[in-house]
Amino acid sequence: MRIRYLPETLINQIAAGEVVERPAAAVKELIENSIDAGASAVSVDLRDGGKTQIVISDNGCGMSAEELVAALDRHATSKLPDDDLLHIDHLGFRGEALASIAAVSRVKIQSRDRESGEAWEITCEAGKKSDIAPSAHPEGTRIEIRDLFFATPARLKFQKTERAEFGAVKDTVTRLAMAYPKVAFKLIHDGAQKLNLSAVLDQQSRLANILGRDFGENAMEIEAEREGVRLSGYAALPTYHRGTAQYQYLFVNGRAVKDRLLHGCIRAAYADVLHRDRHPVVALFIKLPCSEVDVNVHPAKAEVRFRDPQMIRSMIIGALKHAIHEGGFRSASTVGAHTLGAFRTEQNASNSLPLHRRSAAAVPMSHAYQGGQNSYVGNTALQDSAETFYSPQTHFHDALPPQAQSDAHIEENIEAQTFPLGAARAQIHENYIVAQTQEGLVIVDQHAAHERLVYERFKAQIAESGIEKQGLLTPDIVELDESQVHVLMEHAASLSKLGLDIEPFGQDAIAVQSVPSILASRMNTKRLIYNLVDELKDIDESNLLEEHINEILSTMACHGSVRSGRRLNTQEMNALLRDMEDTPLSGQCNHGRPTYVELSLKDIERLFGRR
Ligand code: ADP
Ligand code: MG
C-alpha cells in the first residue's frame, strides 16, 4: 500500500457526500447563493423530485467571467473578505457548494454580471469544466443541474422516491421563504406550480401565506429580548399540535436550522401542557450578534453552536411559557372543526340520511378551516391530530348505556350564558357537559377538565405552602414486588412533600398513610402507586425527583379527577365551568387534549344545511 494524493475530482466527490446528500440539499445551497447575491425573486424548477433536473434562476447581482470560472472551484468564495470566521454575514462562506454539486452531476451556469452588463455561461460535467462562452442571459443567474449523482453511483442508489425527494425540497424552500419574506419564491415540479409566494413586507404575512389561517388563529405571538439576543415569531396553542416535530420551523440569523438544543427548548416549554409524543407547530426566529454563534459546525450548516447555550435556553423556554400562560384557558379553534368533521363521518357511515345535501353543506366546512392555496400544513396533518384528539376517548362509550341521558334539572340561567363557557344545560354519557353560550354551545370533557384543574391547584399549593395532606384512618396497603418497594422508598421523603406518606409494609408491600387532601375522597391509591412506580423507575438517582414534580403531579391529578361516569348536578357543572374560566391553562388536559370544544351557532346551522 502506498499513500497517494487523491485527484481533485475525487476530493470533490467525497466532499459532495456531506454537502449535498440529496436534491433538497443542492436546492438549499443554490437558493442561499441567490439570497446572498441580493435576489428579490428566486424560482426553482424540478423534474422527478430533482433527481434528473434542478433549475434555479434568480435576479441577483450575477457573476463576471472570472468569477464564473472560480465559482466552480473548491474553497472559492466571495463571502469571507476578511478571513474572519467570526464575522459571517452571508449564508454561504465555505465556497464548496458549487464545486461539490458540479463534481457529481452535469451543471450549466448562465449569469449576467450587473456591473459590466456582460453575460457568460459555463458547463461542468463530473467536475470537468468547459471553456466559458458568451451567453444571452437576461439578468441574474440561472443554474441548471442535471443527473445529480450520476458520477457517484453509490450515492445514486440511496436516493429515495421522487415524492420523498420532492417533499424534502418543498420543505427546504418553505423554510427559506419563511426567513426571507421580501424575496418572491416559486416552486415548480414536473411542470406543475407547487408554491408561488410573492414578496411581502413582513414576516407575519409570509407565515400566514405558508402556514395558513388555521395556524394564524391558533398561534401566540412570541417576542423576547435578552443581552442582545432577540427572539420573535409564533407558537401554537398547546391544543394545536402534530405527531412530528417537522412543523417546527427554527431560524438562527436567517438560517434554517434543525437544532437539538432548540427543539429541546420547545419540548421543555410545553412539557406541562402537551404529551411527550405531540409537537406544537412553531416558527421562531433568533437574531444575535455573529460573535455569539458558530455556524461552522456542520457541512450543510443545519446546526449551530451558541456561545451561551444556557442563556438561549432559558430565554426561549421563558418566553414560550409566558405566552402559554397568557393563552389562559384558550383552546384551539380547529377543535370545533374537527368535531364537525367527526359528525360528518358518522352520518356518512350510517348511510341513513340523504347524503347529497348533507355532504354539500359539510364539505366546504372542512375547507373553511384549511389555510389558503399555499398552505403547507395540509389536510392529512390536521386529520392526524383530529384522530389523536378523539381516539383515546372512544373507550368511554364502551362502558356507557347506549342512550344519551340528559340531566333532568336544567335551570334557566340566562346570566351564566354571558360567561365564556356559558351555562350548563346537560350532562351526557356521564362525562360530557353541554353548555349554552351566547354564540353557540360548548361541550366539556369533565374528566379532562377536572384533571387540569386539580393539577393547577397542586401547582398553586406548592408555590404557596406545600401540598395539603390528609391522613387515612386505615392505611391503604398496596402489594408490590421488592424492587418496586425499594424504588418508592428511595423517594419517600420527596413524595411526602407532595402529600403522599408511605411506609414499607413487610417485604413486598407499602402502607399509604396520607394522600393530598384535594384527592382524598376520590383517589384510587393502588392505581396511583403502580403508576408512580413506573414513573420513578425512569428517574435515575442523579436526577432529583424535584425535577419531575410536574409529571408526578400530573399522574396524581389524573387518578384523583372526576372520572367519566360520575353524575354532576347543574350547580356542580356550572361550578366546574367557572373554575375553568378562572384557571390558567385549563383549555387542555395534561396530555394536550382539549378540555372543551366550542361550536358556534353558525357552525351548527351549517351542519343542518341552513347556511
Ligand atoms: P459560498 O456560497 O460558500 O461562497 P458556493 O460554492 O456556493 O460557495 O459559491 C461560490 C461563489 O459563487 C459564491 O461565493 C458567489 O460569489 C458565487 N455565486 C454562486 N451562486 C451565485 C449566484 N446565484 N449569484 C451570484 N453569485 C453566485
Ligand atoms: Mg453557497
Ligand nearest to the CA of 58: 1
Asked if residue 29 has its Cβ within 6 Å of ligand 1, the reply is yes
Asked if residue 121 has its Cβ within 6 Å of ligand 1, the reply is no
Q: To 10 degrees, the CA torsion angle through 87, 263, 261, 178?
A: 0
Asked if residue 77 has its Cβ within 6 Å of ligand 1, the reply is yes
CA of 156 to the centre of ligand 1 (A): 25
Ligand nearest to the CA of 111: 1
Asked if residue 63 has its Cβ within 6 Å of ligand 1, the reply is yes
Rounded CA separation 325/484 (Å):
36
pLDDT one-digit tens code per residue, 211-268 = 887 787 788 889 999 889 999 999 988 888 888 888 899 999 999 998 888 998 999 8
DSSP characters for 2-66? ---PPPHHHHHHHHHHHH-SSHHHHHHHHHHHHHHTT-SEEEEEEEGGGTSEEEEEE-S----HH
pLDDT grade for 331, boundaries at 50, 70 and 90: low
Asked if residue 299 has its Cβ within 6 Å of ligand 1, the reply is no
Query: Does residue 288 surpass a pLDDT of 80?
Result: yes
Ligand 1 atom 16: residue of nearest CA: 78
- Reported as type and span, the H/E element at residue 578 is helix 570-582
pLDDT grade for 320, boundaries at 50, 70 and 90: very high
Ligand nearest to the CA of 60: 1
pLDDT, residue 356, reads 29
Rounded CA separation 511/488 (Å):
11
Asked if residue 591 has its Cβ within 6 Å of ligand 1, the reply is no
Rounded CA separation 541/487 (Å):
10
Ligand nearest to the CA of 34: 1
Provide mean pLDDT across the span 541-552.
62
Provide mean pLDDT across the span 377-399.
29
Confirm if 269 and 316 have CB atoms less than 8 A apart: yes
Helix locations, 351-467, DSSP H: 355-368, 379-390, 394-398, 446-464
Name the percent of the chain lying above pLDDT 70.
82
Q: Which residues pair with 440 in a beta bridge?
A: 600
pLDDT: which is higher, 491 or 166: 166
CA of 9 to the centre of ligand 1 (A): 19
pLDDT: which is higher, 594 or 69: 69
CA of 467 to the centre of ligand 1 (A): 62
Rounded CA separation 433/448 (Å):
11
pLDDT, residue 414, reads 60
Ligand 1 atom 14: residue of nearest CA: 77
CA of 37 to the centre of ligand 2 (A): 10
Please give the number of the atom of ligand 1 that sits closest to the Cα of 99: 6
Q: Which residue from 36, 56, 80 has its CB within 8 A of the most atoms of ligand 1, so it is best to mutate?
A: 36
Range of weakest confidence among 295-304, 309-318, 386-395, 512-521: 386-395
Asked if residue 596 has its Cβ within 6 Å of ligand 1, the reply is no
Ligand 1 atom 7: residue of nearest CA: 97
Provide mean pLDDT across the span 515-521.
77
DSSP characters for 210-240? HHHHHHHHTEEEEEEEETTEEEEEEEE-TTS
From 596, 524, 582, select the one nearest 555 (Cα to Cα): 524
pLDDT grade for 383, boundaries at 50, 70 and 90: very low
pLDDT one-digit tens code per residue, 70-98 = 999 988 888 877 777 767 778 888 888 99
Asked if residue 57 has its Cβ within 6 Å of ligand 1, the reply is no
Please give the number of the atom of ligand 1 that sits closest to the Cα of 71: 12
The amino acid at 585: L
pLDDT one-digit tens code per residue, 360-371 = 222 222 222 233
Confirm if 388 and 278 have CB atoms less than 8 A apart: yes
pLDDT, residue 380, reads 31
pLDDT, residue 339, reads 59
Please give the number of the atom of ligand 1 that sits closest to the Cα of 76: 10
Could you give the strand order of the β-sheet that contains 440-445, starting from the edge strand earlier in sequence? 423-428, 432-436, 440-445, 596-600
pLDDT one-digit tens code per residue, 266-284 = 998 998 888 777 889 999 9
Q: Which residue from 44, 98, 111, 183 has its CB within 8 A of the most atoms of ligand 1, so it is best to mutate?
A: 98
pLDDT, residue 453, reads 84
Asked if residue 58 has its Cβ within 6 Å of ligand 1, the reply is yes
Asked if residue 60 has its Cβ within 6 Å of ligand 1, the reply is yes
Ligand nearest to the CA of 109: 1
Highest mean pLDDT, choosing among 30-34, 470-474, 541-545, 553-557: 30-34
pLDDT one-digit tens code per residue, 417-476 = 788 888 998 888 888 999 998 888 899 988 888 888 888 888 888 878 788 888 888 888
pLDDT grade for 378, boundaries at 50, 70 and 90: very low
Asked if residue 38 has its Cβ within 6 Å of ligand 1, the reply is no
Rounded CA separation 96/20 (Å):
10
The amino acid at 547: E
- Alpha carbon distances (Å) from 355 to 224, 336, 606: 51, 22, 14
pLDDT: which is higher, 389 or 166: 166
Confirm if 191 and 43 have CB atoms less than 8 A apart: no
459 is written with which cell numbers? 401547582
Please give the number of the atom of ligand 1 that sits closest to the Cα of 98: 6
Query: Does residue 376 surpass a pLDDT of 50?
Result: no
CA of 29 to the centre of ligand 2 (A): 5
Ligand 1 atom 2: residue of nearest CA: 92
- Alpha carbon distances (Å) from 34 to 37, 63, 80, 160: 5, 11, 17, 26
State the sign of the Cα–Cα–Cα–Cα dihedral 203, 206, 211, 217. positive
Query: Does residue 403 surpass a pLDDT of 70?
Result: no
Asked if residue 92 has its Cβ within 6 Å of ligand 1, the reply is yes
Helix axes 549-559 and 446-464, enclosed angle (nearest 10)? 140
116 is written with which cell numbers? 459590466
DSSP characters for 258-297? --HHHHHHHHHHHTTTS-TT-EE-EEEEEE--GGGEE-TT
CA of 62 to the centre of ligand 1 (A): 9
Q: Whole-number mean pLDDT of the chain?
A: 79
The DSSP symbol for 518 reads T
